Structure 1
Amino acid sequence: MAGRSPGTGTAYVASHRVKATSPAIIDELLQEYGGRVEYNLGAGSAGFDAPQSVAATFVSASCSSERKGKLESFCGYGDVAGDADLRSHFTQKLVEQYGADPFGDLGVIVTAGANNAFVTAILGCTDVGDEVVVPSPFYFSHEMVLQTHGVQMVRSPRLPPAMLPSVDDMVARFSPRTRAVVLTSPCNPTGAVLCKSECQRLLRACRERAIWLIFDAAYEHFVYENGTGDTSDGLPLPCASDGVMYLFTMSKSYALAGIRVGFLVHPPHMTDQLLKVQDANITHPTRFSQHIALHVLRSSTSSWHAQHRSYLKQIRDRLVELLRPVVPTLNCPHGAFYLFIPLPPGTLDAEAAHFLARTYGLLLIPGSAFGTLALTNGDTQYLRLSFAKLTLTDTETVAARLRAGLSALSQRPSPRKLDVKTV
């Protein structure tokens, strides 16, 4: 008879892979502090409203004289690859956004957000025991996917203070078991943007060894300037390249995290194999979500993205200006909507996060959730701050509280010794 799981009284237990997987710390912090902090700076979701066409789509679907036909189409099974109109319009958008037909023949699968796209990509190109090289810090969900599927993450430390990945270090970590490299640019959690020339150099190294390059473009519309010399808005790699898969999402750029629509762009010879994974997993996103995504893509414009990007850049610039006096090494990120804040020496990130939440009403995420222990300067720990939901007025208040909190932390070797009060 199988042994009982300690403390549960049952022999029916989770798999070793799942039990060994690190939990999403953001969920734990939100559960503890979500309703008790004044400023939730942990969630990586957009603060601006979704396009107005979303409301119009709901009204049209519920009140149209064609309602019966629409409901039938929403409730029935669809194409596992996603609705044809949505895939076609998304492909058209890519061509319009990134130049005169740089894509050629490509495959597009509609997914339930970028996380689902990543799962499908990983299951489509790796086997249990394979290795995937990932610059660290990284998006924590990527680690969870690799752990739950029995794939070994090989961490390549980013280089402080800009937190750029090192192509040379990533390539040095290739082994006969390496099947893929995951590159997120702009990066969650650091906002780092890898320049075009370095992306191309990494792609050449991967091609020489038949290693997949999985490019997470979740923050494609949040590149603020050409800070590394030759970075351009948009994708730094040719999308139709053999050996490259791209992850896109409607969650960030269109503020549609709740509808769960993303896209996996891939070489066409992989379509049949990837559809096996998708069919066995979610089959396809809801038809209604795809209907909303189609109308948003049809109605949105580049100026709409530019407007929100410009506002977020103001928030970023002001935060960096206000925090630099107490955090001289704070990096100004060139993309996404996060600050990755180095803590005073000897300060533990988890303890600092609890201290700031309880004392100053600020919820930030410990950097260790994103793999900071692989950094070359392991003595320094970090907190991730999302400024996506801040207004300019909020920015002043948040910066003042954070300066006070970081100053308090710098005066003691450990936040455990600090007195905790309530805001």
Structure 2
Amino acid sequence: MTQGRPLLNRRLDGFGTTIFAEMSALAVRTGSINLGQGFPDTDGPEEVREAAVRALREGKGNQYPPGPGVPELRTAIADHQRRFHGLAVDPDTEVLVTAGATEAIAAAMLALLEPGDEVIAFEPFYDSYAACIAMAGAQRVPLTLRAPAFRPDLDELRSKITPRTRLLLLNTPHNPTGTVLTREELTAIAELAVAHDLLVVTDEVYEHLVFEGEHIPMASLPGMRERTVTISSAGKSFSYTGWKVGWVTAPAPLVTAVRTAKQYLTYVSAGPFQYAIAEALRLPDTYFDTFRADLRRKRDLLADGLRAAGFEVHRPQGTYFITTDISPFGETDALAFCRALPERHGVVAVPNSVFYDDPEAGRSLVRFTFCKRDEVLREAVGRLRRAAS
């Protein structure tokens, strides 16, 4: 190793992954309720799990599956896009199965960016965005969503587009703020993309977790089908986050480009689970409606409890995260607050500041997840309310 060379490229340091590990370790050490990391504490539909078991027993996917994904899943993804969004997608040329949405994002950035390109993304970022942009040698340009509304300033967005801007990276519903972009906002963004000939990569993993408003895929808007890479995954919609089944839908040339990069990441993954998710995507509307209603109820349970405990609560329109402000407690440092919270009150959360380029922008904001059992949420709220009384 060259003397003095850093072990970690600093462009990749300082984001959420390390704080998740720290908070999870604190939860274990203190016996705290972990509302920091966003994964359910119950499995998804039994019939989906049984479909995975059946695939294993029948030898489906136990060896390398096809590089683009098994045909059954690619067809199910295309059918899903038509069923829910009215989008016609060719399963043979316009669908790519990935190891979760995170790999899809990485492959898209590596495939579509050149060193020196600029990428505009909404801040606070999902933590992999900054790292993936950096790995591609590109430059992230944040457009900050500011409390309490967390809406994009479209004039500011317009001002950030330069001759070096190559791509817009959007996330709706947005993690961690829970913002769902409106048709008017998306239309204005689409018009900018067309006018400046920009590519758009949209992270839509929370597409079925919208509580207010509606999910509108960017690819469905005029002029966007040919320039949009749409990313989603099974983990959030079916509560099997450990299976890591994601996908890309886009015009064939863009899918080919993303696949070219993806083959050097995992090549293939999750063989038997692909067959199970193909069945999951065909579940009846009642599944998706009940799932969404259940999470809306959990959101309200936790939001009301946090407000009663003294937090300023920004009730999300989607996702399964709630952003709160700790200023009412006279606190201003969310990182210090979250590090102390497990010892003081037996609850774990994460500071939003780790999702910003400028930590000051989210300095007093803290994120909680509500994708947990009701009794867990009630106990967490009880602990926090007892501490506040």
With normalisation by structure 2, the TM-score equals 0.89
Task: Give, in whole Å, the separation in 1 of the partners of 2:155 and 2:385.
Answer: 36
> Is 1:366 the counterpart of 2:351 in the alignment?
yes
**Which structure: larger Rg?**
1
Question: Would the alpha carbon gap of residues 286 and 147 (structure 1) be closer, same or farther in structure 2, given more than 3 Å must change?
Answer: same
Superposed counterparts of 1:15-414, under 5 Å:
16=9, 20=13, 22=15, 24=17, 25-63=19-57, 67=58, 70=59, 74-75=62-63, 77-99=64-86, 102-103=87-88, 107-226=94-213, 232-235=214-217, 237-238=219-220, 241-298=225-282, 300-325=283-308, 327=310, 329-344=312-327, 345-371=330-356, 373=358, 378=361, 381-391=364-374, 393-403=375-385, 405=387, 407=388
Provide structure 2 residue ranges, at least 5 long, that are not aligned to the other structure. Answer: none
The alpha-carbon deviation at position 272 of structure 1 amounts to 2.5
The alpha-carbon deviation at position 29 of structure 1 amounts to 1.8
Provide structure 1 residue ranges, at least 5 long, that are not aligned to the other structure. Answer: 6-12, 227-231, 409-423
The alpha-carbon deviation at position 326 of structure 1 amounts to 5.6
Task: Give, in whole Å, the separation in 1 of the partners of 2:89 and 2:280.
Answer: 24
Task: Give, in whole Å, the separation in 2 of the partners of 1:338 and 1:401.
Answer: 19
| Contact kept in structure 1, 2:199 and 2:227, CA below 8 Å | yes
> Any idea what the Cα deviations from partners look like across 1:274-319, whole Å, max 9, x if unmatched?
2211112211223222222223224x22211221211221122233
> Any idea what the Cα deviations from partners look like across 1:61-118, whole Å, max 9, x if unmatched?
455xxx4xx26x531x33221112210111011111123xx33557110000000110
Task: Give, in whole Å, the separation in 2 of the partners of 1:382 and 1:233.
Answer: 25
The alpha-carbon deviation at position 346 of structure 1 amounts to 4.7
Q: Secondary structure at the match of 1:323?
A: helix
Question: Would the alpha carbon gap of residues 264 and 58 (structure 1) be closer, same or farther in structure 2, given more than 3 Å must change?
Answer: closer
Q: Report how many residues are paired.
A: 382
Structure 1 or 2: larger helix share? 2
Task: Give, in whole Å, the separation in 1 of the partners of 2:112 and 2:80.
Answer: 27
Q: Secondary structure at the match of 1:324?
A: helix
- Amino acid across the alignment from 2:315: C
Question: Would the alpha carbon gap of residues 361 and 45 (structure 1) be closer, same or farther in structure 2, given more than 3 Å must change?
Answer: same
Task: Give, in whole Å, the separation in 2 of the partners of 1:185 and 1:86.
Answer: 23
- Amino acid across the alignment from 1:254: F
| Contact kept in structure 2, 1:156 and 1:169, CA below 8 Å | yes
Task: Give, in whole Å, the separation in 1 of the partners of 2:113 and 2:267.
Answer: 20
The alpha-carbon deviation at position 23 of structure 1 amounts to 5.9
| Contact kept in structure 1, 2:27 and 2:33, CA below 8 Å | no
Question: Would the alpha carbon gap of residues 205 and 95 (structure 1) be closer, same or farther in structure 2, given more than 3 Å must change?
Answer: same
Q: Secondary structure at the match of 2:263?
A: helix
Question: Would the alpha carbon gap of residues 379 and 388 (structure 1) be closer, same or farther in structure 2, given more than 3 Å must change?
Answer: closer
The alpha-carbon deviation at position 329 of structure 1 amounts to 4.3
| % same residue | 24
- Amino acid across the alignment from 1:357: P
Q: Secondary structure at the match of 2:316?
A: coil
Task: Give, in whole Å, the separation in 2 of the partners of 1:277 and 1:152.
Answer: 19
The alpha-carbon deviation at position 157 of structure 1 amounts to 1.1
Task: Give, in whole Å, the separation in 2 of the partners of 1:379 and 1:259.
Answer: 32
> Any idea what the Cα deviations from partners look like across 1:367-419, whole Å, max 9, x if unmatched?
111117367xx48511110011141x4333322333455x59xxxxxxxxxxx
The alpha-carbon deviation at position 234 of structure 1 amounts to 4.9
The RMSD of aligned alpha carbons is 2.5
- Amino acid across the alignment from 2:277: A
Task: Give, in whole Å, the separation in 1 of the partners of 2:24 and 2:56.
Answer: 34
> Any idea what the Cα deviations from partners look like across 1:250-285, whole Å, max 9, x if unmatched?
110011211111011112222322221111221122
Could you say which residue in structure 2 is the equivalent of 1:421? Answer: none
The alpha-carbon deviation at position 35 of structure 1 amounts to 4.6
The alpha-carbon deviation at position 21 of structure 1 amounts to 5.8
- Amino acid across the alignment from 1:339: I
The alpha-carbon deviation at position 165 of structure 1 amounts to 2.1
The alpha-carbon deviation at position 19 of structure 1 amounts to 6.2
Q: Secondary structure at the match of 1:385?
A: strand
With normalisation by structure 1, the TM-score equals 0.83
